[in-house]
Structure 1
Amino acid sequence: MSKRFDLLVFDWDGTLMDSTATITYAIRQAFEDIGLPVPTEREARYVIGYGLTEAMQHLAPRADDGQIRKVVDAYRHYYLARDQQLVLFDGVREALVQFAEAGFTLCVATGKSRAGLDRVLEATGLGAHFLATRTADEAFSKPHPAMLEYLIDFAGVEPERTLMIGDTTHDLQLAINAGTHSAALTYGAHDTDALAALQPLGIFDDFPALTEWILAHG
């Protein structure tokens, strides 16, 4: 059976790596340290997927540039303190091998910084699986389409033969803005109803279910 997609593009945090709780904790601790109003857990989860500066600006729209820099620095301190404890979701490592063997090209589009993504790619040993990666300090933050458009152009594929896979509405709106298809995972930062409202091709509760669907229908 011929494939529907040539390119699979993955978000990182909350999609491939179980990092949502750590990011949420680090955001809230950073705001407390700097003395800015502490966002609720739901508010902190909402901005996961944005670039770091954009996320903090969204949560503190009245803060000046100096306060934003301080909260970003504090966030990095708290996040890095737990960084080595983060793990991939069950089934991710095996699935990436299966996708490559099935002939898909794989890429990453993430709100992480380049330094942050390179660090986890090295730590997990997954870097070799991806043709290209794009981070929030190399393109406009999600859901602006530039990040995904770059990967599509780099891979030499058409948008309609690209599947964006993520756990937030930012990922799904990114796909819409870039003219690609999308698939959603429910175990990350945003709830199922919000994901469903953006009409991804599929919504999956774990990575093995997504993998089975892609291998059968992708």
Structure 2
Amino acid sequence: MVILLPAIYPELCVSGDAGIILVGGYNIVFLTVLLADCYGRITLERLRLAVFDCDGTLVDSQHSIVHAMEVAFDFHGFDAPNPSAVRRIIGLPLVKAIGILAPESDIADHPEVAETYKSTFRDMRASGDVHEPLFQGVRETISALVEGGWLLGIATGKAMRGLVATLEPYDLLECFVTRQTADIAQGKPHPEMLNRAMADTGTDADLTVMIGDTTYDMEMARNAGTKSVGVTWGYHLPDELDAAGAHIVINEFGALPDALESLTEGKT
């Protein structure tokens, strides 16, 4: 049997002989093109899901995030946050992150600071001042994982609008069949984003792996009962990732396929 998509769309019906998918409410031509771009054909086995963090894992967005946070803090009369402190909160829900950066401030002000941060970031993006380069090896590794039969997902502290704006210029968005963002699910380290990703794709926790650069990613994986891979090119230290429960920590993107295979070997 050939399947182009796991059960992330409603009313899924698969014809085993023809490999035809009928999906209520969706255009079948669009659906086929959407998946063929990154997935081609996926054989009917237990599905494996690799869920990626975005900031600090796929893209290096630290400088843009730090600048937008500095602007927001200044607008509200807060002391400028330390850049290293800003890097450490990347991935957390925004209001929670602001509370960590400004512990002496009035908690009632934090949502307004968050809105200023978001509007600042939108203005920066509109003027071409947001820089979020891909880390080395991202494209090649994603291609290798897709060819190896992995489903790919995203679990990020970004809002959906921000995620789309980040990945669309690289033509990578369609490679991720489940996209979990902070505006539709509870933020890290709560397990909701991973739980939703597994529900979307019909995958089990023992064949799901979270890949991220922060302790929040590792803690979310632990809370959801999945495996986790920590990456050292982001914003938290390798020892911190180990302590937070990372099953494997890697130093380069190209090491990811082997790491994922070792965590799921013999389970499909």
Q: TM-score, normalised by structure 2?
A: 0.73
Partner of 1:54: 96
Within 5 A, what are the aligned runs for 1:1-80?
A: 6-61=48-103, 62-66=105-109, 68-74=111-117, 76-78=119-121
Between 1 and 2, higher relative CO (CA 8 Å, sep ≥ 6) is seen in 1
Larger Rg belongs to: 2
* Amino-acid identity (%): 37
**Larger helix fraction of residues:** 1
Within 5 A, what are the aligned runs for 1:19-168?
A: 19-61=61-103, 62-66=105-109, 68-74=111-117, 76-78=119-121, 81=124, 84-168=130-214
The structural deviation recorded for 1:216 is 6.3
Alignment CA distance shift 1:164-1:7 (3 Å)? same
Q: Provide the C-alpha distance between the structure 1 equivalents of 2:47 and 2:62, rounded to a whole number of angstroms.
A: 28
- The answer on whether the counterparts of 1:168 and 1:190 sit within 8 Å (CA) in structure 2 is yes
Alignment CA distance shift 1:85-1:178 (3 Å)? same
Cα offsets for 1:47-100 (capped at 9, x unmatched): 110122222233234324345413541454157526543211111011111101
Amino acid at match of 1:179: G
Range with greater deviation from structure 2 (164-173 or 39-48):
39-48
Q: Secondary structure at the match of 2:183?
A: coil
Amino acid at match of 2:157: G
Q: Provide the C-alpha distance between the structure 2 equivalents of 1:30 and 1:130, rounded to a whole number of angstroms.
A: 31
Alignment CA distance shift 1:83-1:115 (3 Å)? farther
Cα offsets for 1:1-42 (capped at 9, x unmatched): xx9971100000000011123323332342233211333223
- The answer on whether the counterparts of 1:183 and 1:203 sit within 8 Å (CA) in structure 2 is yes
- The answer on whether the counterparts of 2:156 and 2:182 sit within 8 Å (CA) in structure 1 is yes
Q: TM-score, normalised by structure 1?
A: 0.88
Q: Secondary structure at the match of 2:255?
A: helix
Unaligned runs of 5+ in 1: none
Amino acid at match of 1:133: R
- The answer on whether the counterparts of 1:52 and 1:72 sit within 8 Å (CA) in structure 2 is no
Q: State the Cα RMSD in Å.
A: 2.3
Alignment CA distance shift 1:48-1:151 (3 Å)? same
